Amino acid sequence: MAQDDQTAGGAPYDLVPDGIRLRVRLTPRGGREGLDGLAQVADGRWALKLRVSAPPVDGAANAAVIAFAAKGLGLAKSRLDIVAGQTSRLKSIHITGDPADLEARLAVWMAKG
């Protein structure tokens, strides 16, 4: 299980100069909104497993994951943007802000999971 320095310890994100790039493994039509722990993806990195009740139709699941993550992190939805994986279960979400603050918010949210 090789990991790069930024994801050592199973972190599902990478710090970037203007925020964090969060990897998400999404389950649409999951019956509820929820955080389901971590999953190791094919490239050996980790992703946060999220579940939303919205179907993957017309961007509904993407909108739901942005709303759920923003609420969990206590941020405005406008600070989150899906930058990769719009039509895939594995998504990359860019969260704009101070990387240290966002890392702390993610740690609290994941602990509450």
Identify the pLDDT of residue 4: 35
Q: 106 falls in which pLDDT band (50, 70, 90)?
A: very high
Q: Identify the pLDDT of residue 9.
A: 55
Residue 26, domain member (yes or no): yes
Which pLDDT score is estimated for 30? 86
Q: Which residue range(s) make up the domain with 30? A: 12-112
- Residue at 7 is within a domain: no
What is the Cβ-side half-sphere exposure of residue 15, based on CA atoms within 13 angstroms?
A: 11
- Note the pLDDT of residue 7: 38
For residue range 14-35, list pLDDT tens digits in order.
999 999 999 999 999 988 899 9
Domain count, the chain: 1
Q: What CATH number is given to the structural domain containing 59?
A: 3.30.1200.10
In a domain, 3, yes or no: no
Q: What is the pLDDT of residue 20?
A: 97
Average pLDDT over residues 84-112: 95
Q: What is the pLDDT of residues 39-87, one digit of tens each?
A: 999 999 999 999 999 999 999 999 999 999 999 999 999 999 999 999 9
R_g (Cα) of the chain, nearest Å = 13
Q: What is the DSSP string of 53-71?
A: SS-SSTTHHHHHHHHHHHH
The mean pLDDT of the chain is 90
Q: Is the pLDDT of residue 6 over 50?
A: no
